[in-house]
Amino acid sequence: MAIRSKHGNLLNYFIHDRRDLSPAYVRECEKFLKKIKKKERAQARKRSSSREGGPDSSQAKKDLDSSGALG
């Protein structure tokens, strides 16, 4: 059974079997999901580098020390 899908709408990608969807639609959905995953990994790396002594974390420690919040 062929499923009609609008490109840009991921609902059918998640609720129907891939065999019932057009190959072009599946490719576009997978391309979009890979793009999101790549962005999330980049943001996670950026967050972890700032926690591990990146340029912003040393300034944050100084700010906390001067305010007396760390005691």
3-state secondary structure (DSSP) of residue 34: helix
Task: State pLDDT tens for residues 47-70.
Answer: 888 877 655 545 555 555 665 555
Task: State pLDDT tens for residues 7-26.
Answer: 789 999 999 999 999 999 99
Range of the domain at 36: 11-57
- As a whole number of angstroms, the distance between CA 71 and CA 66 comes to 10
Q: Indicate whether 4 belongs to any domain.
A: no
Q: Indicate whether 68 belongs to any domain.
A: no
Q: Indicate whether 3 belongs to any domain.
A: no
Q: Indicate whether 22 belongs to any domain.
A: yes
Q: What is the pLDDT of residue 71?
A: 43
Is the Cβ–Cβ distance between 44 and 51 less than 8 Å? no
Model confidence, pTM: 0.60
Q: Indicate whether 15 belongs to any domain.
A: yes
Q: Indicate whether 6 belongs to any domain.
A: no
**Which residues 6+ apart lie within 8 Å of 70 measured at CB?**
64
Q: What is the pLDDT of residue 2?
A: 80
Q: Indicate whether 5 belongs to any domain.
A: no
Q: Total structural domains in the chain?
A: 1
Q: Indicate whether 51 belongs to any domain.
A: yes
